[in-house]
Structures are given as C-alpha cells and as structure tokens.
Amino acid sequence: MTTLTARRLIGAVVRVVPRLRHWYRGCMLRFEFFHTAQNEAAPPGQAGVVYTDLAYLVNQNGQVVPSRVGLRTDNGICRLECEKVGSDPASLAIGVDAKSAQGQNAVAPAPGGMIVEQTTLLPEREEPYSFWLELARRRIMLFLNKLEEWGLVDDPEVSEPMAQLDKARELFTDALVIGRGKPTLTSDTLGKAALAAASHACELLTNLYSRRGTDPESAPGGRMLDSMVRNRSRLTIGCTVSPGRFDELQTKMLERCADFVHVPMTWSKLEPREGKYSFAQTDQWIEWAVLKAKRPVVTGPVLDLRAGVTPDWLSIWENDFETLREMVHDHAKQIVTRYRRTTSRWIATSSIPINEQFHLTYDKMVELTRLVVMVIRKLHPRCEITVDVARPWGQYAASNRDSISPMVYAHLLAQSGVKFDSLGVRIQMNRQRGYRDSAYLAEMLDTCAELDRPVHVTCLGAPGQSSATEPNAWSNAEQASWIERTLRLLASHHTVASVCWQEMMDTEPADMMAYGGLLDMRGQPKPALERLLEFRSQLIAAWRDKDKKNGEDAA
C-alpha cells in the first residue's frame, strides 16, 4: 500500500466514523447554561434549575418523538444533550425551576417550584444553543401567536401585556447581542430575565382572554362577547366519585358542587375474576345520582388498558389480538347493556394511545376504539360518546416507541371513520406530570379545537399538600388558586363543554392523586371547594341572566 493510498484510507475513516457514531447514537440537540455553587448538590439528573425526568422533544407537527435527554456539569457549565431519532428540527420541553423561569414577581407563581417550559423548533448543529435564550424565544413567539389568534391586537386593555412583551424583547435582544448566539454568563442572566418577562406577558394576556370569555361586561361596548355566552350551551361542572366509598358527607357535597356525576368503570374492580362481575358499588352511586340527586351520569371509560386498571387475567391474551378483541367486545356489551338507561354520556375509551401494557399497533388501537364506540352506538344510539386521550401533552411517547401522540391518535380516529362525538382530555398537575401555566394550557386547548369537536375535561386535578412521594408539592392555598384560574380559562374557551374534578375526597391510598380531593381525609372542605362553589354560582347566575335577556328579546 502506497503512502498516498494509506493517507486516503485514513482520511475516509476519519470522515466516516463520526457519522457512523452519529447514526448509532441518534441525532443530537445540545444546550448550555451556567449554574451557581449552591446548585452543586442537586439530585442526579438536575442542576438545581432543570428536571430531565420531565424532558422530551417535539417535532414540527407537534408530535412527541422518541428521545433521551441527559445532563452533564463541568466547571459551572451545564450541558443538556438531547438524543433523538431522525435529523429533523425539534423543540425541547423540560421542567425548570419556577423562580428562574418566572422571576420573583410572577402573576401566578408555579406551585411546587417547578414549571415546564419549551424551546422553539431548532435544527441540529455542533455548537450548543443558549438554553434560557431559546426558552425566552418560544415564550415571545407564543405571546405574538395568541395575541392574533384571540383577536386581542386592538383591545384597549392589551397595553399592560404588551409593555411586558416589549421588556422581554429588549432583554432578549441584549442577550443575543452580548452572547452572539453562544451562552455566556451575562447572556445567560439576560436570557433568564427575558424568559421571566415573557412569561409574565403571556400570563397577563391569557388572563385578559379569560376575562373576555367569562365576563361579558369586561368587553368594551360588548364588542367581544365570547361564543360561550352567545352561541354555546352552558358549561357544566362535575366530579368523579370513588365507587368503593359511598357516604352521606360526599353525597351532600356533590349535590352542592356538581352538575353531573362521573362514575368510573374500572375493569379490574368490576371483573376481578374472569366472567364474575361485581356491580354493587357502581350501582349504588348511579342509583343515588339518578333517583335522589337528579343528576346526569357520565359513565366510563368502558375500556382503559393501563396497567393496574385492566384485570390481571386479561394479560394472558396480550399476544392474541383476536381473543383480546372478543374479550373487549363482551365487556363493553356487559357494561353498556346494564347502564344505558341511566347514562347521559359515555366515555368509550381512555389512555389507549399510551399503549403501555399490550403494545398494540396503531391499527389495533384504532380497531379497539372503533369496537367500543360501535357497541355503545348500537345499544345506546342517542347518547353522546367521548374518546379520552388522557394525557394531552403526550410526554409518554418520548420513552415508549409503541405509543402515539394524543392528537395524532384523535385525528387518526376521525380519518378512519370512528363515530365519536367529543374529545376527552385530562388536566392533572403535580410533580410527576409537570406543571404548565395558563398560556400553555390555552395553547393545548386550541390544538384540541382543531379536531372540530367539543372537548370534555374528564379529569381536572392538582394536589392540596405534600406527601411522601411529593415532599415539595402544592399547598391547599395553591390548589385553590389554581382551580379558580383554570376554571375561568376553561369556561372562556369555546370548545370546552364540561369540566370534571378528579375526586371528591382524599383517600389513602388515593384513587387518582394523593391529596387531590376537594375534602380532606377528615371530611373538611378545602379552600379549593369554596372556590369551585363560588365559580359555579357565578356561572349559573350568568346563564340565568342570559336566559332572561333572551326571553325579553323574544317578547
């Protein structure tokens, strides 16, 4: 081998090996930021200000992609390495310290001290991106998009949010000029300040949007009466009950705070042994709701394939889809036949796109959903059928390649001709699920609206105090403040038809979430219950006034 040939071979290897390694490890996005000495003792996967267990990547279609986010620290510099499948641009969503993201004077401080933020779509490059700068860029973009979409550009009260946005833009520009696109200590500080100002602006804008939707008097000259007031039926508020716990205290509170009662159908509790059903507990709640409380009943989900919700004996059919399909059909027929005369709305399926236990293909997910919807439609043709996608941000798809993003699943059902009437989403905030502020919540609802179907919030919830699993969780006051803000936002959104709180009373162990009820374990009302009652009273009064005005106009 000549010297020239050897050099060419070595050169080819030098060029190819990094590409092979890049292909093997996956494509990469990198971010850098600085951290201080007090963050050195942060838990693994954290740097005092970021939480990689809540990190995931989103592609340009809004789908969560299989990815892995790691954190390395070296001499005061933190490096986030985001490994993903494919080389397309992606956006990083990650939990960050609330004080770093929102500043010291936040309009609505994030409970628990953590909030999920997101970057814009970014292409791959060798140089790392400035972490705080990219988070601020996404917030500024979100504000401008929603300002136009919500029709608030010419609103006379938009000046305060715009002032905050101008501040954020100025800080962002300074950080960009000083760092020249690269993270430095000064640009890091300015980027963090820009993010806080942009978050403040987004919260003010979302609050203005909520007021315009729920308080017609706040709209100058009645210019912007929301479709909730003009064209839609009344928003209803309900609560989920625990079938295993029926008592007078809960029934009295439900009569005060709920327009409807949601009775869950947990397969593992209804049929713990194959072929042996036990309906006593669910019968008791439904009989009370229909005969005594005179409340509509929402029943389901008929099918929920999450681990722990399905009976143990069903798992033996994991690799036999035809038998699994037959079992699902028989179960759905049993449930719907029994409760069709007492149910006003069915939740057909829930959590199917998460696909954590049976590892179904996309076609099989659609097929099982279609099957349950068809059984309900055949046995109860005039009822409303909801398909619940459960976790609307879809972060589960980052670590589970068998899963599918929630809105992709919903659109897939619609395109496949599955005849469901409405979409269900669960909005639950805690340390494990992450906290999103009102602006990101409103953005998610706008995405759901693209399906052109009513949206039911099938499970709204947050914890009221710390627990063993969440030592830095929310307080009762934070739970109350959050439920008031969130209800006002949900009521203002034209697609939201109903809201259902996750559980009436704290239990041990909890059915849904530790300390997530409206009553504590002693049966005492929490501040959140008082806020819910107050908001429901205001809503009822507003609709009563609307009905009166319509009657006068008709006369």
HSE-up (13 A, CA, CB side) for residue 109: 13
Count the Cβ atoms, other than its own, within 10 Å of residue 126.
6
Task: Go through the chain and tell me how many residues it has.
Answer: 555
Angstrom distance (rounded) from CA 480 to CA 462:
9
Contact between 242 and 505 under an 8 Å Cβ cutoff? The reply is yes
pLDDT < 70 regions, the chain: 1-27, 36-48, 181, 214-233, 467-473, 547-555
In the chain, CATH 3.20.20.80 sits at 232-554
Contact between 47 and 78 under an 8 Å Cβ cutoff? The reply is yes
* Cβ-based burial of 394 (10 A; exposed 0-12, middle 13-18, buried ≥19): buried
The pairing of strands 67-74 and 77-84 is: antiparallel
CA distances from 348 to 304, 383, 409, 414, 518 (A): 9, 11, 14, 15, 26
CA distances from 215 to 222, 256, 495 (A): 10, 23, 17
Q: Alpha carbon 72 to chain centroid distance?
A: 29
Reported as a single tens digit per residue, the pLDDT across 297-340 is 999 999 999 988 999 999 999 899 999 999 999 999 999 999 99
- pTM of the full structure: 0.90
Contact between 94 and 102 under an 8 Å Cβ cutoff? The reply is no
Instruction: Please give the pLDDT value at position 94.
Output: 97
Q: How many helices (H) and strands (E) does the chain have?
A: 15, 17
DSSP-assigned beta bridge partners for residue 233: none
DSSP-assigned beta bridge partners for residue 129: 31
Instruction: Please give the pLDDT value at position 360.
Output: 95
CA distances from 511 to 186, 219, 245, 441, 502 (A): 47, 41, 11, 24, 9
Contact between 130 and 187 under an 8 Å Cβ cutoff? The reply is yes
H/E run at residue 240: strand 236-240
Instruction: Domain 232-554: state its class.
Output: alpha beta
Q: Alpha carbon 515 to chain centroid distance?
A: 19
The 8-class DSSP code of residue 59 comes to -
Angstrom distance (rounded) from CA 123 to CA 138:
15
